């Protein structure tokens, strides 16, 4: 009986360790440019989001306050940094509030998404 309890305890501990390791493998947001809630110049050309780990692929799109997409294409992984998504903005944007929406697939296959807002002045 003691042996069964010991084996069960060890098995549960291994499951907990493996589960914690898998959860740690997911990426988080390391930084965003422009920063959430910030106000930046209308001359802004690119929007970026950097993660804490490698990503396989993703999209980054920017919308104005009316919900109209103001970024070019769907954005994507930065060829110079496998932890970053980047997109370029259309020219001639007016001052106002904008929302950047992103999706990504982390290196471990986990899919994530989110958004942040910023202003152009």
10 occurs within a structural domain: no
Rounding to the nearest 10 degrees, give the CA dihedral for residues 100, 30, 103, 120: 10
Per-residue model confidence as pLDDT tens digits over 10-48 = 444 444 444 434 445 589 999 999 999 999 999 999 999
Per-residue pLDDT tens for 64-81?
999 999 999 999 999 999
Pairing relation of β-strands 111-120 and 39-40? Answer: parallel
User: 39 lies in a domain?
Assistant: yes
The verdict on residue 70 lying in a domain is yes
Predicted model pTM: 0.79
Q: Does 32 fall in a domain?
A: yes
19 falls within a domain = no
Q: Using CA atoms, how far apart are residues 86 and 3, in angstroms rounded to an integer?
A: 55
Element (H, E) at 18: helix 2-25
CB count within 10 Å of CB 5 equals 9
Domain count, the chain: 1
Q: What is the CATH number of the domain that holds 48?
A: 2.60.40.1220
Domain of residue 40, residue span: 28-120
């Amino acid at each position: 009986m003691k042996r069964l309890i010991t084996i069960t305890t060890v098995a549960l501990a291994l499951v907990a360790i493996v589960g914690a390791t898998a959860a740690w493998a997911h990426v988080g947001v390391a930084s965003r440019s422009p920063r959430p809630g910030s106000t930046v110049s209308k001359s802004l050309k690119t929007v970026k989001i950097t993660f804490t780990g490698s990503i396989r692929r993703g999209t980054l799109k920017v919308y104005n306050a009316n919900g109209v997409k103001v970024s070019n294409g769907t954005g994507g992984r930065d060829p110079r940094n496998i932890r970053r998504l980047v997109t370029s903005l259309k020219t001639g944007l007016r001052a106002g509030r904008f929302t950047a929406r992103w999706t990504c697939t982390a290196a471990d296959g986990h899919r994530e998404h989110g958004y942040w807002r910023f202003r152009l002045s």
